[in-house]
Amino acid sequence: MNEVLVVGAGPVGLSAALALRARGLPVVLLEADPEDRERPGSRALFVHRETLRLLDGMRPGLADEITAYGRTWQTRRTVYRGREVYSRTHPPSPGLPPFTSLRQVDTERFLRAACERAGVEFVWDARVTDVRSTAAEVHLTAEDGRVWTAGYAVAADGARSALRRGLDIAMEGSHGEGFHVVVDIADIPGAELPLERVFHYEHPGVGGRSVMRVPFTGGFQIDLQCRDDDRQEAYGSPEAARRWLPSVVGDGYAERILWVSTYRFLRKVAASFTDPHGRVLLVGEAAHLFPPFGARGMNSGIADAAAAAKAVAAGTAEAVADFADVRRAAALFNSAAAGEALDHLRPRRRIVRARQRAAAALAPVLPWCGSWLEHAPYGPRGGAPVAAGGTY
Ligand SMILES: Cc1cc2nc3c(=O)[nH]c(=O)nc-3n(C[C@H](O)[C@H](O)[C@H](O)COP(=O)(O)OP(=O)(O)OC[C@H]3O[C@@H](n4cnc5c(N)ncnc54)[C@H](O)[C@@H]3O)c2cc1C
C-alpha cells in the first residue's frame, strides 16, 4: 500500500510518475484514454531550461534526449505592421539550451518511454469518477467500478479534473473575452522557413490582428490573436485557416495544415492544491489554467509534479501543506504574469495600443522601445520558486 496513484497521463501526470519513481516509490498511473490513443496538435511547445533540469533529475539523460529532438533558435524578431522593430541573434549557449520546442505529443512520447523504463505501472481505460480521502488513505473509483486505495494520489487529470470536482475544490479567477487560433503546419521539405520566432503586431494581411510564428520539429505553429467580436467560424475552422494563411506565411502551406484549434483565455487557480486530509495533491491543469503566452502551463505543471513527488516521498502532513502553499503561490504569480501579458496582447485601453504604436515608431532610434515590444507579450519572468514562464 506504499504505492502512489497518479491520475492522468498528460505531460504533468507522466512527470509526476517519473519523479515518484526517481524517489523509489511504486507508481500506478490511471488514464481514462486507451493505450493507443492519439493526442491532438502541438499545444504546449516550449520546454524551458528549468523544466529540462527537473526532468533530468527525474531521469538522467532525458533532457539531452528531448533537446536532441526539439528545436532551439537563436533569432527572435518583432515586426509591427509589416516593419521590423526588433531582431536579435544570440550565440548558442553552452550546456542545456534556454528552451527547446517540440510538439506536446512528442514531449509526452519521451516522458511515456521514460516512465515505462522506470517501471511505472500504466492502467489505461481507467476513468476515475470518484475520490474519497481519510486521514490515512485515498480511495479512487473508476466508472467501471474498479477501486484503488493508496496513501497518496496525485491528481493530474487536466482542466476538467474529476478529482478536483470530487473534492469540491473551486477554481478561482477570470476568463477573458475572445480566443486565439492555433494552426500547426508541416514544413515544406527543402524549403523550410528560417529557424526563428517572429511576433507580428497588427499584421496587415489579417486585418491588423497580431500573429506569432513558432518553429517546432517538422513544422511551425501560427498563433492568430482574434478580436473579441470575431466569429470563431470566420478564423478558427480549417477552411477559414486555409483562407487567411497565405497572407501570413505565403503560398504552399494551406495544404500542409496538420491541426487547427481555438483557445480561450482562462486564468484560474484552484482554491486549494490538496484535500483537507492532505492525501490528494493537485498538479498541472487540474490545479491552474493560464493563457499560453509565456509557456507557463506545462512548464509550471512539471514543476508542480516534481514538488508533489518530493512531498509524497517525505510522507508528512507538513510536507504536503508546504507543497500546496508553494505551488499555489507559484500559480498565482503565473496567473498575474499571464494577466500582464494579456493586457499587452489584448489591450482594453486605447492608451496601450497608442504606446505600442509610439514604441514601434521610435524603435529605429531608441532600441529599448523595440526591446519592450519584443518582450512584453510574454509577461514578466521567474519570480515565485520555479514558477516558469518568460520570453522565448
Ligand atoms: C487546444 C489547446 C491548445 C493549447 N495550446 C497551448 C500552447 O500553445 N502553449 C501552452 O503552453 N499550452 C497550451 N495548451 C495547454 C497545455 O496543453 C497544457 O498546459 C498541458 O496539456 C497540461 O498538462 P496536464 O498533464 O496538466 O493536463 P492534460 O494534458 O490535459 O492531461 C490530462 C490527462 O488526464 C486524463 N484524464 C482526464 N480525466 C481523467 C479521469 N477522470 N480519469 C483518468 N484520467 C483522466 C486525460 O485523458 C489526459 O491524458 C493548450 C491546450 C489545448 C487544449
Looking at the CA of residue 163, tell me the nearest atom of ligand 1: 41
CA-closest residue to ligand 1 atom 3: 43
47/101 Cα distance (integer angstroms): 6
User: What is the reported pLDDT for 258?
Assistant: 92
| Rounded distance from Cα 346 to ligand 1 centre (Å) | 24
Contact (Cβ atoms closer than 8 angstroms) between residue 148 and residue 5: yes
Contact (Cβ atoms closer than 8 angstroms) between residue 321 and residue 250: no
Looking at the CA of residue 157, tell me the nearest atom of ligand 1: 34
| Rounded distance from Cα 11 to ligand 1 centre (Å) | 8
- DSSP result, 301-338: HHHHHHHHHHHHHHT-HHHHHHHHHHHHHHHHHHHHHH
17/150 Cα distance (integer angstroms): 14
| Rounded distance from Cα 376 to ligand 1 centre (Å) | 26
Mutational pocket test of ligand 1: of 298, 299, 335, the residue with most ligand atoms within 8 Å of the beta carbon: 298
Residue 298: which of 65, 56, 108, 22 has the closest Cα? 108
Type of residue found at 39: R
| Rounded distance from Cα 295 to ligand 1 centre (Å) | 13
User: What is the reported pLDDT for 357?
Assistant: 86
CA-closest residue to ligand 1 atom 33: 8
φ/ψ of residue 347, rounded to 5: -60, 130
CA-closest residue to ligand 1 atom 52: 43
Q: Which residues of the chain have pLDDT under 50?
A: 383-387, 389-392
148/86 Cα distance (integer angstroms): 55
Residue 6: which of 153, 200, 170, 158 has the closest Cα? 153
User: What is the reported pLDDT for 291?
Assistant: 80
| Rounded distance from Cα 159 to ligand 1 centre (Å) | 7
Residue 64: which of 109, 95, 103 has the closest Cα? 95
| Rounded distance from Cα 235 to ligand 1 centre (Å) | 23
Q: What angle do CA 217, 101, 33 make, to 5 degrees?
A: 85
**CB neighbours (10 Å) of residue 139?**
16
* CB neighbour class for 4 (10 Å; exposed up to 12, middle 13-18, buried from 19): buried
Range 174-183 burial, b when 16+ CB lie within 10 A, else e: eebebbbbbb
Over residues 181-192, the pLDDT tens digits come to 999 999 999 888
Q: What angle do CA 137, 141, 146 make, to 5 degrees?
A: 115
Residues with CB under 6 A from ligand 1: 7-13, 30-33, 43-44, 104, 126-128, 156-158, 162, 182, 261, 263, 284-285, 292, 295, 297-298, 301
